[in-house]
Structure 1
Amino acid sequence: MKIEQFENLDIWQEARELCKTIRVITEKENFSKNFNLKNQILSSCGSIMDNIAEGFERGGNKEFIQFLYVAKGSCGETRSQLYRAYDFGYISDSETKEIIEKTVILSKKISSLINYLKSSGYRGSKYKAEK
């Protein structure tokens, strides 16, 4: 099945759900008052889905891979910020474990797509247009 738009990518959909989850936890009373951490974690989790989308829309395999690496890095950044939120007492142990697991799974899925794209012969739609 050929994916025509980034919204159909499972990793983008999962990144979107992660952003929704992060938004909910940042609205908790103590968390919401730490504007720096709140803004950082909302930015990093948003960067995951945004970089997947931007890379896909570029139309080239190499560029898509590059943006997927950025998305994977943002996933790690989000995970690190979750640990800080936990250490500061903003989120519970169970919330932390649940969301950390989601970030680890998403990171692995992004890696899998990177590896697939590297090993496939597909070069991207912009190369078809140039021929």
Structure 2
Amino acid sequence: MQLLVHPITRRILCVATGCGATHDLRLLRESKTAIHPDTELLADAGYRGIQHQHAHTRTPKKASKHHPLTDTQRTDNRRLAQVRLPVGHVIRRLKIFRILKETYRHRRRRFHLRVNLIAALCNRIPIQT
């Protein structure tokens, strides 16, 4: 399941679902979600490589054995995580519903509809700060 969430208002803008375990970037490409070219996209490490399609994308930098992160890269990753924190709260609000928390055991035909309805409910619930 893929979510596009506005980080300030915490509203779910778009939901895309896939069949089975699907990589995040592949799900984004297959869903053909249109993102305006001037929009800044804040993504997690699962979307590494999206910079080729969307120029204004920020993903965390990855350290390797031979190339450790510099202090500036580490602080950039921390800032990005702080900005993405409200998105994690939205995901937590979605997973309150058992249908999204546990294994889905019904027919897949209406799963996307149910996810959209749950997203609409979460958008209607007032946010407590």
Q: Same fold (TM over 0.5)?
A: no
Between Structure 1 and Structure 2, the one with more helix by share is 1
The TM-score normalised by the length of structure 1 is 0.28
Q: 1 or 2 for the larger relative contact order (CA 8 Å, sep ≥6)?
A: 1
The TM-score normalised by the length of structure 2 is 0.28
Between Structure 1 and Structure 2, the one with more strand by share is 2
